[in-house]
Structures are given as C-alpha cells and as structure tokens.
Structure 1
Amino acid sequence: MSSVLPWPRRPISNVYDAAYSGVPNWDIGRPQSAFVQLADAGLVRSPVLDVGCGTGELTLYLARQGYDVLGVDLSSLAVSQAREKAHWRRIPAQFVVLDALDLAALADRGFSFRTVLDSAMFHVLGDEERDRFVRALETVVERGGLYCVLGDVRRNSDAVYGLTPAELRRRFGDGWTVVFSYEAVFERRWSSNPAHFVGLRRR
C-alpha cells in the first residue's frame, strides 16, 4: 500500500500538521485508558483500524499486543512521527496518510475491519462530515464489526463540537446497535475532559 493515497487533503490537514510540529495537548504519549480497558475486556478483534491515529500510540499499543492494526490520519506529519516511533520501538505497526472521510479507498483496495477505534476524531467533525464519515465507515466495517468512539461531552446543545450517545444513535441509524455507552475521561497532557465512550456494532 502506498503511504499517501492520491486525492487532495482537506485544508484542515494543514492545521493538524502545524499542531504536530510541536506536541499537541491531546498527544499524551500513551493510548487513552478507555481503549486499554476495551482491549483488556477482549472486545477488540483483528483486523483493527485506528482512525485519526495521530502519532500512533493506540496503534502501537495494539500492535505490540499482537493485533493486526492499521493507523490512519490526515496529517502527514503525525503519520511520519508514528512511523518513527514504530521503527525505534521495533513494533510492526502500519500507518497510512488518509482522510477518515475517504475510508472507501481502503475498501477499494480490499481492506475490511472487525474493529474500528476512534480516539477523539469524530467529536471534531462538522455536521455534514459526521454523516459522511458514517457512510465511509460502512464501506470497511464487516457485519458484526464494532466501532468504538471516545469523545468530549458536548457542553452546549447548540454546538457541533463534542458528542452525545443520542446523536450517535440517530446518525448511525438502524444498521447499527449500541452495545455500550458510558461516561469516561478524555485525557490531555495538562488537563482532562468528561467524555462519552460508545461502542456500536454493525448489523
């Protein structure tokens, strides 16, 4: 698989490249605890897709545990840093520069996944982008596959940023079933936020 898939990146990619020129607040140097607990509970099954993987801590953690996992991010700088970590830690993890709204490109190449993990990617998408992501997700998630998302609690009902379990049920519709939903924490380098952790299974 080529490291960069051939279509224009969204302008927001430049914003994330700028963030990863330093160490962004959300890059805590380890996976979010909610996903470690998910793996410990035996709910992660290979192959795994880590959408919005950033510098790869979750992908690297799972690969070290023996999972077949692919990390994707629209920031080429973040993916470069993730590959460097994989090299120096000697972990056989794979990373691709890819906009999560274009997951169909993976399906076109024969990829499908039993588990998709989303550590704070969905909660930054715009309204139309969220629906587009759900459609893209359905191209790569196998029947019976699980999508798990951790995102900040939406503090303002008029805002788009953040998420609610009710919104996820509405956007994902009848083709998906919520299998767990609970309050969690999204950890940052200098703070933490109340979050929702939700798992949806494709019917």
Structure 2
Amino acid sequence: MPEATEDPFGGRTPTSHERMTGLPWDASYREGPAPWDFGGPQPAVVRAAARFTGTVLDAGCGSGENALFLASRGFRVLGVDVAETALDKARQKARVKGVEAEFVTADALQLERLGRGFGTVLDCGLFHAFDADERVEYVKSLEAVTKGTLYILCFSDGENAGPHPVKREALTKPFGAGWRVKTIEEERVRTRFHDENGAPAWFATIEREPTRE
C-alpha cells in the first residue's frame, strides 16, 4: 500500500485561491516573507486605529504586523489564520518586541468556533482572496463574532491593481440585513511587489446592526 501523505490543508476545504495555486496559504510563508509582508503594519490600518474600539480580531493576520501594531497601542488583540508558519512568525515577533497579543489557528470561514465576540474586526487582505461564493460564507462567519465594526482593506480594481482586484459593488454585495456599510474610501495596500505607494485599495467601514428581539 502507498504511504498516506499528510493533508497540506489540515482537513479543511481549500479556498478558491488555494485550488488555483495548488498550495496551502502556509506555503506563502515558508521560503521567506510573503508577498504582502513588506515589514510593517499597513499604513491604512495605522491611520484608522484611532477609530478601533474594544477587543480586536485580526482575521487572516498572517505574520502579525497589524495585530502587533494594535497591541502596542494598548488594544487586546486576537490574530487568527490557517497558516501555522505565519502564526509561528507572529508569536516570535511578539516575543522580540515584548508585545502581548494572542495568535491562534482558525478558519476565517468558521469564526463561530472561536466562541467570542469582538468590538472591532480587521480584515487586511483576506476578503479579496475569496471568490463570490466564499465571500457570502465569510460574511456569515463574521456575523458570529462582529459585535461592533468591521474594517476591510482589500485590493481595488484601479490602475496597477494587485491580484484578485475587487470592484466596489462586489465589496458591498455580500453584506445584507444586519450590516450597514458606513463608508468605502480609496486607499493603498503596501506589498513587496509595488513601490512605496502600494496598490490601489478600498478601505470599508461596515457596522454590525443590533439584533432586534
């Protein structure tokens, strides 16, 4: 009998991006910095941090730059990702910087398994990696944990766009009853493959509406 091989996706269903590349997200971190790891928190997140409230969930936190920045500003932060190598890097950075932040393995499409609620949820570069069907599933997952405001920073379809560019209407489409899209601002996303001005992006502020009894 052939030897059983380890499942690179850890028993979960691969995302559309993983099916396209044939590689798990973890592979992006094994051979050096990932394309989006330019060496610091996203400037858009730094600018928006003053608006954050309560405990923060960083969904798809990667190697932790945004989560650690927020933790250094006094926020209680939980970073989640499916990439174990990225989480190991994030924990190592936290130790070196002397910053307290929590990093755990979790699927962004099943956030209800966290069993927790957050005043602020940050999505930096995750939304655009999902296809249309996954985005609907993702928003349902976010409903279980978002008690206040969701912030999404994703590639837009402007000039010199990054991979998986998102049209404005595609960003708002999955958010129906129970959500209010407050603002969508033009922004930039820093990557290792763009100059210091980054790639065109959207920065969306989306509020969770109170549940009516």
Q: What TM-score range do you get, normalising by the shorter chain?
A: 0.7 to 0.9
Correspondence 1:20 to 2:29: yes
Consecutive unaligned residues in structure 2, runs of 5 or more: 1-9
Residue range with higher mean Cα deviation, 14-23 or 133-142: 14-23
Larger Rg: 2
Q: TM-score, normalised by structure 2?
A: 0.82
What CA deviation, in whole Å up to 9, does each residue of 1:110-159 have, x standing for no partner?
x10011001110101122111000000001111xx11111111136xxxx
For these two proteins, the number of residue pairs brought into alignment is 187
Correspondence 1:58 to 2:66: yes
Q: How does 1:36-185 map to 2 (within 5 A)?
A: 36-39=46-49, 42-107=50-115, 111-142=116-147, 145-154=148-157, 161-185=164-188
Letter in 2 for 1:53: C
Tell me if the contact between 2:153 and 2:202 (Cα under 8 Å) persists in the aligned partners. Answer: yes
- The alpha carbon displacement at 1:43 in A equals 1.1
Q: Distance in 1 between matches of 2:170 and 2:27?
A: 30
- The alpha carbon displacement at 1:9 in A equals 3.3
- The alpha carbon displacement at 1:92 in A equals 0.7
**Moved beyond 6 Å, runs of 4+:** none
- Counterpart of 1:196 in 2: which secondary structure? strand
Residue range with higher mean Cα deviation, 52-61 or 166-175: 166-175
40, 53, 56: which one aligns with 1:30: 40
Q: Distance in 2 between matches of 1:171 and 1:129?
A: 10
- Counterpart of 2:177 in 1: which secondary structure? helix
- Counterpart of 2:57 in 1: which secondary structure? strand
- The alpha carbon displacement at 1:63 in A equals 0.6
Residue range with higher mean Cα deviation, 166-175 or 17-26: 166-175
- The alpha carbon displacement at 1:161 in A equals 2.6
2:203 aligned residue: 197
Q: Distance in 2 between matches of 1:125 and 1:77?
A: 21
Consecutive unaligned residues in structure 1, runs of 5 or more: 1-6
- The alpha carbon displacement at 1:14 in A equals 4.7
Tell me if the contact between 2:151 and 2:203 (Cα under 8 Å) persists in the aligned partners. Answer: yes
Q: TM-score, normalised by structure 1?
A: 0.86
Tell me if the contact between 1:17 and 1:78 (Cα under 8 Å) persists in the aligned partners. Answer: yes
Q: Percent identity?
A: 38
- The alpha carbon displacement at 1:182 in A equals 1.0
1:3 aligned residue: none
Q: Distance in 2 between matches of 1:58 and 1:124?
A: 18
